[in-house]
Structure 1
């Protein structure tokens, strides 16, 4: 089954800054390009960090500090507050950036990249080669592009790759209907144990939103058969 990777959906024309880029220039860069973050590159093109809008907002924290410091959990939050103050005092990308940046390899499957961004709470991540050099950037909206496949394309892949190539099922026995990414399976499988398998493989097909299975079977192979002794 074909699986799209990050390099299939990433943006290759990436706006970047260097470690010496001043604070104001970074702000203007984000505003001019309507983006929320920029990778920071070293002199040889390696990604050393990333500056986001959140990093820049720490400057506002410095200009409008809270009236009182929190009295609870001071020790636990001291390090976090020190980092905030350090970024509030920063004047260039070197001091503002989050480093090292969480990066993704170009050949990473789209589903794996989506799990990474969601688990880390990130909206985007730089894509780098084995040497750490920037190849592109991938955002959540890029990863959602897998759900823009047509229903006909999804149906064709399920019949061809799941039923015929992987499960050796007669496609005439299983009716596959796809409506807005939701796959409906109707028909009869030879073995009962194959029903959860075909559902799982169907759900793993790119672009599938959900699977509704109404499948019967010819033989129940989920219970051990008692054979007569010789």
Structure 2
């Protein structure tokens, strides 16, 4: 496979809280470590929830507005509103955290992690082993690291993947990379090979887009230019 896995980009030294960790200590952990969230674990280091800055801010947004407002009849609260109100009164991580935690495993691909974050609207994923023990954490910033690869690193990987995937000599496909944009040139046997080469290149970590100027034998059209977006 072409995507790197979460274990390649995750942080292994994880700042965490326990169920009994006090509110102010959680705030201090976030501030001192300059992070916006952390996992909550039990005594066996199994992830039981997560806390974000938003959870802590519930205390500010639900401050009492004054005596006269308490006398006004308010509409029945929704489930989410009741949850927010409960967090505003929380004194420990156990009542402040969001559960169950959305987690990932070290062998998830970074693309899968990005999809999980997008689907659940979260900015970080605790990484757990097959027994649910905390082994790391991955953030959106960690996933973006794949785009910090140098053009030379990308070029070498694209070339290697294309050669292996098509079973052709290295000289058959010339690979150029500029700011993450891959350009493919060369002559292949079949149109399918040219399309597969572009697909392979587009799915290498760090590739922003692919422009293919590959040609193929006369069984198909002469020359075509294909632009393919990167995988993330």
Q: What is the TM-score with the length of structure 1 in the denominator?
A: 0.86
CA distance in 1, matches of 2:17, 2:109: 27
CA distance in 2, matches of 1:161, 1:40: 40
Q: Secondary structure at the match of 1:106?
A: coil
Q: Secondary structure at the match of 1:100?
A: coil
1:194 corresponds to which residue?
Answer: 193
Alpha-carbon contact 1:193-1:220 (below 8 Å) kept = no
Q: What is the TM-score with the length of structure 2 in the denominator?
A: 0.85
- 1:221 to partner: Cα distance: 5.8
2:36 corresponds to which residue?
Answer: 36
Off by >6 Å, runs of 4+ in structure 1: 66-69
Greater shift, 100-109 or 118-127, is seen at 118-127
- 1:97 to partner: Cα distance: 0.3
Matched, 1:13 2:13: yes
- 1:173 to partner: Cα distance: 3.3
Matched, 1:127 2:127: yes
- 1:116 to partner: Cα distance: 1.3
1:140 corresponds to which residue?
Answer: 140
CA distance in 1, matches of 2:171, 2:78: 66
Q: Secondary structure at the match of 1:131?
A: coil
Greater shift, 7-16 or 164-173, is seen at 164-173
Alpha-carbon contact 2:51-2:93 (below 8 Å) kept = yes
Q: Secondary structure at the match of 1:50?
A: strand
Residue deviations 1:83-139, cap 9 Å, x none?
111111211111110011001101111121122112222111111111111101111
CA distance in 2, matches of 1:93, 1:153: 43
Alpha-carbon contact 2:161-2:200 (below 8 Å) kept = no
| Root mean square deviation of aligned Cα | 2.3
- In 2 relative to 1, CA 219–64 (structure 1 residues): closer, same or farther, beyond 3 Å? farther
- Number of residue pairs matched by the alignment: 217
- 1:196 to partner: Cα distance: 2.0
Any unmatched runs of 5+ in structure 1?
223-230
The 5 Å alignment of 1:205-220 reads 205-220=204-219
